[in-house]
Amino acid sequence: MTPPPSRKTAGVIGGGAWGTALAQVCARAGLKTTLWAREAEVVASINTSHENTSFLAGIDLDPTIGATGDLADLAGSDVVLAVAPAQHLRAALTAFAPHARDGLPILLCAKGVEQGSLKLMTEVLAETIPAAAPGVLSGPSFAGEVARGLPTAVTLACADEDCARDLAELIATPAFRPYFATDMIGAEAGGAVKNVLAIACGIVEGRGLGRSAHAALITRGFSELSRLAVALGGQAETVAGLCGLGDLVLTCSSPQSRNMSVGLALGRGQTLNEALADKLSVAEGVASAPAVRQLAKKLAVDVPICEATAAILAGEVGVDDAIRGLLSRPLREE
């Protein structure tokens, strides 16, 4: 695919599995792609062996992808994909801000709610690089599958429809299909809450509660996700799509999900420290859970599954007591 003549280069902030996979997407779309990573070993591995041995081992990367440890090397990019973990995004964007020109399209690819501020990633970008043109990329996508070129569909949202369409066309490949939208809040709210619900689904799976309970949790969890997204100003139609329901179904249905794997470990009786011990990649839901709980309380939105998950992660309640608490809630209309 040949990119429009006005945009030929892409920068990626974040050298984890998802950042590496998106760099692969950009390169396949015909963009000259530079990936910034904090870890010197990741930079060296990509530049010398065309593989991210730390976070995406075993997958051959496009040899045109260049890696760097200097954010200034992304200054000339026509589009930047910000893929640093949600709790580190502010620091990464603050460091990149001196190199970002006015109007630079920045696609936010991290999923979460910032602890302390309770802000979504678009709000973090507005505070750190206010002159940027923001966008949100979210949807059901495992990094390894995307990097290998397996078929994937996602939501790409910008406030301006033409901008969303242009960026979707820019990074699309035969196997990577962005659907464009204008509801950035809905797109990022879905991605933030689904990680918390994926931990809950992992707990259900790890406790052996059955497929019926698993399906019920996804469905009732989706109701919580939708209520919170709408309360934030998003649209119910948006979260009923790839960036909400689609992402929720994927993340809650496979141990490939870092968040679900944490829940599986908790459900099988491990402590949170034990569940996280061998994980290099970040499970965003662990950090987002307390922020989602606080945000829901601030907005007076009922999110019992997210609350119970946050309480388990905080050590405030045991798994079995949390499950009993959810099952003993008063009956209500669906």
Q: How confident is the model at residue 5 (pLDDT cuts 50, 70, 90)?
A: very low
Contacts of 138 (CB under 8 A, 6+ apart): 109, 111, 154, 155, 157, 187, 188, 190, 191, 242, 243, 247
Query: Which of 58-72, 187-201, 272-286 comes out lowest in average pLDDT?
Result: 272-286
Residue 167 bridge partners (DSSP) = none
Given a contact cutoff of 8 angstroms between Cβ atoms, the answer to whether 32 and 64 are in contact is yes
Q: Which residues of 297-320 are buried (b: 16+ CB within 10 A; e: fewer)?
A: eeeebebebbbbbbbbbeeebebe
pLDDT digits (tens, 9 = 90+) for 90-139: 999 999 999 999 999 999 999 999 999 999 999 999 999 999 999 999 99
Given a contact cutoff of 8 angstroms between Cβ atoms, the answer to whether 47 and 40 are in contact is no
Ranges assigned E (strand) in the chain:
9-13, 32-36, 66-68, 79-82, 105-108, 133-138, 152-157, 176-181
Can 194 be counted among the known catalytic residues? yes
CA-to-CA distance for 94 and 54, rounded, in angstroms?
25
Residues, the chain, total? 334
pLDDT digits (tens, 9 = 90+) for 207-245: 999 999 999 999 999 999 999 999 999 999 999 999 999
Question: 8, 194, 297, 298: which one is catalytic?
Answer: 194
